[in-house]
Structure 1
Amino acid sequence: MNTSYDVKIWDIRRNASSKTPSYVVRWKLGGKERSKTFRTKALAESFVSDLRQATRKGEPFDLVTGLPSSMAAPAETGPTFFDFARSYMAARWVHSAARTRETMTYALLSLVPALVKELSSRPKDDNLRAVLRDYAFLPDKRRGELRQEYKAAFAWLEAASLPLTDLLEPAVIRSALDAIALCFDGEPAAANTVRRKRAVLHHMMESAVELKKLPANPLHAVKWKPPKATGTVDPRTVVNPVQVRALLDAVRQVGRTRGPRMVAMFACMYYAALRPEEASGLRRQNCDLPAEGWGLITLEKARPQANKRWTNSGETHDERGLKHRAQDDTREIPIPPLFVEILREHIETYSAEKDGRLFRTSKGRPFSSSAYSAVWREARRLAFTAEQVVSPLAARPYDLRHAAVSLWLNAGVPPTEIAQRAGHGVDVLLRVYAKCIEGQRARANSQITQALEM
């Protein structure tokens, strides 16, 4: 006889011999003690609950596996989470921008090492993330041969990864959500980071349903709220025109040539509300710069920066269409005479690259985000008081774009026109910049006073 009803289940206990927290479930079947270790207490409790329900129902326990008939391991019917994650990345690669590929990968760097069985000889998490980032999630033509130092980690992941169908268990999908809520060092992740990673997991599960790998999206079965993100611009970051001019003057003083080459690029972010990647992609042929009066920029392309492993070109910058627009769509931005003069001076001094690009190093390379961020930090130190330097005021170059849109709103420019120039939807514009619109409170108070006096 290969089954028995003689079962005794003990309480869960913490595994004292493990360096990382784990929990042991112990039970006795037919006089022989059994045990199973889980990484989280929730998983252990779920397993114990299943064992107790089986005993209450009078199910026979298999003497070989130690499990009741309802928990007997079925034949392998689908991919592991690791396998599905790799196929998901391969399918999405062609149609995704470099930064999207990076976002998907970093979500999976949290998820894949968390959704595994408790197998022995687990490699360090740093090694697991390295083999995922540098090999497993890259297309065949990018990754080459598996390096010797990654072979053990890759083999362990293939053996330990949970079946994709295990995510239908609430305890397992919750462990996935717990994983994306933390940074790699164990600290709580920023709200926007958690939301981005959760969006990747949600899309993966929807793809699994579409491909009939799962009967339903397991995220719908659990109640879990991501941390709340502000979603609005902090008005403390917004600089005024006088402060902008002081900052641009300070940029000219940074370095021998690096700062002066960036003045017009930073000016693009303020006077035309360009995103950094849009300024990076700006060409001479995009600029109508008359000797007098207003000019016009007609944006065609952006050049976002990402790690070389994620770009199509293998360089740090890929040329892309404009954000939130069709591939060949353009955006027209009228620019004031002051900015026209800045661009004319830049072109006269540094000319343009062969393809028309305006902003590049002396060797013709695009400026990296780390390079222009370093120049910006030094410019703030030169232009601001000590109190302003430690404040959020224009802490990042991107805050120049926020300052531009805030200025236009407070000047009374219609939101539809601002949205067109900035490349926003009107609803997004008003929601994101709601706190930066000045003078509304006094007008509202006056209107309410008049109503009360009627």
Structure 2
Amino acid sequence: MAFQAARNTRGELIRDEKGDPVARKDAEEPPEEIARALAWIAKHSIKVTDLNDSDTLRRALTALSMKLYGKKAAENTVRRKRSSFSNALRYAVERELLASNPLSRVDWDPPATDDEVDFRYVPNPAPARALLEAVRVQGQRGGHLHGFFGCMYYAAMRPSEVAQLNKRDCKLPASGWGELVLSQSRPEVGAGWTDDGKSYEIRGLKRRARKTTRPVPIPPVLVALLRQHMETYSPASDGRLFTAARGGRVRSTEYADIWQQARKKALSAEEVATPLADVPYSLRHAGVSLWIKAGVDPAEVARRAGHSIAVLWKFYAKILRGQEQRSNELIDSALEADSQDQE
């Protein structure tokens, strides 16, 4: 939904006569200090229609590319702010405050960014396994989240996908490779921005149609890990494998804390002081990197990870270029063999 929902004193959503959630701005008077701030903003803001003037628009773009104290903002920050600005202008067009989005008429591009993963800080297989073991030994919660992090590494899953992993999605044979059939994700969302007041939303897979599934073959080590997890921990009432300590969704604050403790156990003091595996998402990067280095076709790597080929190249170009050299050597060998046969 596009607004923050209003709630009563019991925390329940306030709904109109049709049963739809009511926007907080329509149900509550803002506190005095907020009202004063809004009045000040309105007084010192230009009209939306003024953005039709290219000079005014350029000043706005320059402002969002700077920090509050006048220094240049980071490239990704500028791109994110410009994207939000563009969305606001598109909404203004929808509300007929502007005839068209004026950004298309201004020759101004956000700074280029280097989105490639810094592989100096992506753990190789040995430290990745050490980190997973350091998670496992952290008591009951560590044991429970061992499989959570295992899915991120061995299946290169996003945390939101692991959070929604259901028992029915798992094909776990007694031996050999298994398969996870992914169909949903469970990203965290502020409770004030959801229709039901929960701090998450159940969605389809990222950048995929809602009912699209993504089968991911998983190696025997993850099959065994998940089988053991199911034998030790009961799934949630809806079949989810991983839950928070008090039920519900595994929150990022919970698994991030476990992860930081694991880093201190598995890495040296010098490594802990670096960005090496500094966030749990590093395991997903490590898993994808391992597949590429193993020689898996990039198209298959992208499919398993839920990427497009373009996104795969954007983030993993250094590794893929290394694989190109290996492919060139194989082609050279084949051409030499063919030439010898012709002789």
Q: TM-score range by the shorter chain?
A: 0.7 to 0.9
Secondary structure, aligned partner of 2:276: coil
Corresponding position: 1:415 with 2:298? yes
**Greater Rg by CA:** 1
Instruction: Write the mapping of 1:263-274 to structure 2, written as runs, cut at 5 A.
Output: 263-274=146-157
Match of 1:238 among 112, 119, 122: 122
For the pair 1:227 / 2:111, whether they are aligned, the reply is: yes
Q: For 2:41, which of 157, 161, 166 is the aligned residue?
A: 157
Q: Which consecutive residues of structure 1, in runs of 5 or more, have no partner in the other structure?
A: 1-91, 99-138, 449-454
Question: Which position in structure 1 is the counterpart of 2:23?
Answer: 141
Is contact 2:244–2:251 with CA below 8 Å preserved after alignment? no
The one-letter code sitting in structure 2 at the alignment partner of 1:298 is V
> Given the superposition, is the C-alpha separation of residues 389 and 150 from structure 1 closer, same or farther in structure 2, using an over 3 Å criterion?
same
User: How large is the RMSD of aligned CA atoms in angstroms?
Assistant: 2.6
1:197 — aligned with what? 81
Deviations 1:44-103 (A, max 9, x none): xxxxxxxxxxxxxxxxxxxxxxxxxxxxxxxxxxxxxxxxxxxxxxxx728xxx9xxxxx
Residue 293 of structure 1 is aligned with which of 176, 181, 184?
A: 176
Shift of 1:180: 2.3
- The 8 Å contact of residues 283 and 356 in structure 1, kept in 2 or not, is answered as yes
- Mapping of residues 248-327 of structure 1, within 5 Å: 248-254=132-138, 256-327=139-210
- Shift, 1:295, TM fit: 0.8
2:289 is matched with which residue? 406
Partner AA of 2:86 in structure 1: H
Aligned equivalents of 1:298, 1:349: Cα separation in 2:
22
Paired position in structure 1 for 2:218: 335
Structure 2 CA distance for aligned equivalents of residues 392 and 239 of structure 1: 10
8 Å CA contact 2:180, 2:218 repeated in 1: yes
- Distance of 1:442 and 1:323 partners within structure 2: 32
Residue equivalent to 1:59: none
- Which of the residues 139, 154, 174 maps onto 2:58? 174
- Judged with a 3 Å threshold, the aligned counterparts in structure 2 of structure 1 residues 172 and 350 are, in CA distance, closer, same or farther, namely same
Q: What TM-score comes out, normalization by structure 2 length?
A: 0.83
Shift of 1:380: 1.0
Q: Deviations over 1:377-405 (max 9, x none)?
A: 11111101222222232221111111111
Normalised by the length of structure 1, the TM-score is 0.63
Structure 2 CA distance for aligned equivalents of residues 445 and 187 of structure 1? 48
For residues 411 and 446 of structure 1, what CA distance do their matches in structure 2 show? 15
Q: Is the 8 A contact 1:347 1:358 kept in 2?
A: yes
Do the aligned partners of 2:244 and 2:250 also contact (CA within 8 Å) in 1? yes
Q: Residues 446 and 257 (structure 1 numbering): CA distance in 2 closer, same or farther, change over 3 Å?
A: closer
Deviation at 1:367, TM superposition (A): 2.0
1: CA distance between counterparts of 2:58 and 2:233? 55
- What is the distance in 2 between the residues matched to 1:446 and 1:295? 31
Shift of 1:216: 4.3
